[in-house]
Amino acid sequence: MNRERAATQNGISYSIVRTRGHRRCRSRSTMWSSFRAWLVLFLLRFAFTWGQYEYLQKIVNILGYLVPTEKNWTLPDEKGVWIAEDITKAKKEDLADRIAASDIVILWVPGGGFRMNLGSLYQHTFKAWARILESDKQIKCMFFVPNYRTSPEYRFPAAIDDIKETYQWLIETMQVPAQKLLIGGDDAGAALAIDAMYTHALHVPGAIFASPYTGLEAGGESWRENMTNDWLNAAALHPEGGAQPFRYLGQNQKPLSSCVPPRMLIMVGGHEVLLDEAGYLAAAGREGGAAVTLFQAPSQVHLFSLLGFVFGDMNAWQQSVDYVASFVSDICNKRT
């Protein structure tokens, strides 16, 4: 009986030690997550507002160590980087087969205030989009992130020309059918994608915009109300040394509504300074006859739908993943 009691006591003692150990691990994990979130936001704010252009991409590289990535999901190519599961070792013939077997290819124009390219930070979110599309919707999806030229080293319209050339390269060289090519963009990348569609008549069945900066309402109500809530501020957006990548805003020009794709998904946080711009973009899309879905996540900040798994509300980030899956699925269903 004493042995049983001793064994029981040892078992209880072991359980207590193990539980305390788990609590310590959880506490350390929570502390690291909180510190990582603070550090990512600090570095983003610093990179967006710092004037030393030559160091900006180095900061993005540092951010890459703080944001989870998987090397087997990326394949560099002449115009940018492919992102898809187990694509790293794909040879030319294998890549052609993957493209042919895919249901959707998303050309994503990453933002970065016109001065840097944040595309390398979004792999985790693109992975989540691809996984839910395949598991829940039986849709195979690939991404292509272009390496476009940035200011101030390259002046406007260099970035627009790069996006146009990438679009043509995907269709003509990589044999991506136009009907399964979507375009997307975040931050200033949205302005570049829209300008490319507007100026060069890039035809796509749908577009996805995350925290879009479009110049439609710069300095408006949400800029004033959310300046203390968002990590982004007016100093973070530099329209290429005075040249304006917003040709769709010019007077006596054809309206922005004339170039919108048939379907649009716009995701924005309720605490973003760009909140009103997202609303104006949605209105322009509807004016042009597009079916527009606007997902506004309360209390979320700039880029929550792409980096919210690091610094935002995981539920809001997961909701954005679900919205993308439904949006892409609807486009595929309309096509069949």
Domain count, the chain: 1
Q: Are 266 and 294 in contact (CB under 8 A)?
A: yes
Residue in this structure with the two tokens 């003509």, named with its chain if needed: 172
Environment class of 335 (CB within 10 Å of its CB; exposed 0-12, middle 13-18, buried 19+): exposed
* pLDDT score of 2: 43
Tokens of 196: 């490319």
* pLDDT score of 129: 99
* pLDDT score of 16: 36
Beta-bridge partners for 109: 185
Longest CA span, the chain: 95
With respect to residue 23, please indicate whether it lies within any of the assigned structural domains: no
* pLDDT score of 15: 39
* pLDDT score of 5: 42
106: three-class secondary structure by DSSP: strand
In tens, the pLDDT along 220-251 reads 789 889 989 999 977 666 555 555 567 777 65
Environment class of 315 (CB within 10 Å of its CB; exposed 0-12, middle 13-18, buried 19+): exposed
With respect to residue 208, please indicate whether it lies within any of the assigned structural domains: yes
Q: Is the dihedral of CA 309, 314, 318, 319 positive or negative?
A: negative
Strands 181-187 and 141-146: unpaired
With respect to residue 272, please indicate whether it lies within any of the assigned structural domains: yes
With respect to residue 181, please indicate whether it lies within any of the assigned structural domains: yes
> What's 98's domain CATH number?
3.40.50.1820
* pLDDT score of 151: 86
Start-end of H helices in 50-91: 56-66
Q: Are 109 and 300 in contact (CB under 8 A)?
A: no
- Name the residue among 147, 150, 134, 123 with its Cα closest to residue 310: 123
CB atoms closer than 10 angstroms to residue 92: 8
Spatial strand order in the sheet of 181-187: 74-77, 80-83, 141-146, 104-109, 181-187, 206-212, 263-269, 291-297
End-to-end CA distance of the chain: 73
- Name the residue among 212, 207, 209, 210 with its Cα closest to residue 181: 207
216: three-class secondary structure by DSSP: coil
Strands 291-297 and 263-269: parallel
Q: Which residues contact 222 (CB under 8 A, 6 or more apart)?
A: 272, 273, 274, 275, 276, 277
With respect to residue 95, please indicate whether it lies within any of the assigned structural domains: yes
With respect to residue 228, please indicate whether it lies within any of the assigned structural domains: yes
* pLDDT score of 145: 99
Q: Which helix (H) or strand (E) holds 184?
A: strand 181-187
Domain that residue 172 falls in: 48-335
Positions of the chain with pLDDT under 70? 1-26, 51, 217-219, 235-245, 250-253, 336
With respect to residue 156, please indicate whether it lies within any of the assigned structural domains: yes
Q: Are 216 and 280 in contact (CB under 8 A)?
A: yes
Q: Are 136 and 322 in contact (CB under 8 A)?
A: no
Q: Are 130 and 106 in contact (CB under 8 A)?
A: no
* pLDDT score of 309: 94
d(CA 111, CA 294): 19
With respect to residue 24, please indicate whether it lies within any of the assigned structural domains: no
Q: Which residues contact 249 (CB under 8 A, 6 or more apart)?
A: 215, 216, 256
CB atoms closer than 10 angstroms to residue 59: 17
In tens, the pLDDT along 64-122 reads 999 988 889 999 999 999 999 999 999 999 999 999 999 999 999 999 988 899 999 99
* pLDDT score of 239: 54
